[in-house]
Structures are given as C-alpha cells and as structure tokens.
Amino acid sequence: MTLPLLLSILGAMLALAGCSPRSTANKPAMDTQTDRPDEPSGKVVRTDAEWRQLLTPEQYRILRQAGTEPANGAAYREFKHQGEGTYHCAACGALLFSSAQKFDSGCGWPSFFDPAKADNVVLKQDTSLGNVRTEVTCAKCGGHLGHVFAGEGFKTPTDQRYCINGGGLKFVPAQ
C-alpha cells in the first residue's frame, strides 16, 4: 500500500468518526420542553478529549483546569440581567444554584448565598496561590466552579458568598 493511499484512507476514517453519533452524545441530555439539562443520576466521567469536545475553550479552562474568568466580564454582565431561573453545571447539567439565592456582592463574579441543591456541590480546601480558600466544585463531574467565602458581613441568610465563574454555568429561565 502506498503512503498517499494510506493517508487518504486514514483521512476518510477520521472524517467519518467526526460524523458519528458519539460527537453529540457527550453533551448533557436536555428536556426539549424546558431547555433544562437533565439532572445526572450519578457521577459523570469523561476523558480529557471528551471534555475538550463538549466544552468551549473557556468552559474547559474554568471547569477542567480550575481557571478564573476576568472580573466584570461578559458572563457576569449577562448574570446581572438574568431574571428568575436556575443555574446548572455547563459540563454535566447538574442543578447548582437558583436566582432565589442570587445577590449582588459587587465582586465582579456571580454570587449566591447558598446552593439550590447542596448535594450537587462539593467544598474542599484550596491552598493554591499561597493562601487557604474553600473551592466549590460540581459533585457530579468534578468541574471547578469557584470559591465560597464566609463572614464577610453580607446581609444574607448565610453570610456566605459563593463566588462562581459564570462561564461554568448554564442559566435556565423560569417558565
């Protein structure tokens, strides 16, 4: 078999693989009536390649590499204008927060005083950047969401500020 023929066959195989149903199977399942992501029933495990295919580069940087979006960025400006609804993990669709717990902390990132579904968030110690913070991750897929801070004096029921990257959330308006 000649090299050009081998490369042609390999190219055709790769093109067909990109058209397979698997390319859409990685996306969170959606309820077509409400555009609300289906709640995952268990842990969501994907390869790094699958996460890269599923997420935008910015979502991947935030959710899979524990990145932080710029303060007062586009996601935050959108967040400020969103009305009633729920906030789901952009990677797996898990319900995380609700507009009922949303507040304007003035920090430049979406803020909530409590999760809408506590079982879907995990808090863990983060010692990166030379200080101790509490990281917030999605319990279903392990995606990095942001950090939670307590005792800052906000007049909320919990005096907590879940400082969350808007790029890691999918907003679903209330119906």
Q: Which residues are catalytic?
A: 163
Rounded Cα distance, 45 and 140, in Å = 9
- In the numeric block, the tokens 């950090």 are attached to 147
For residue 58, the tally of other CB atoms under 10 A from its CB is 17
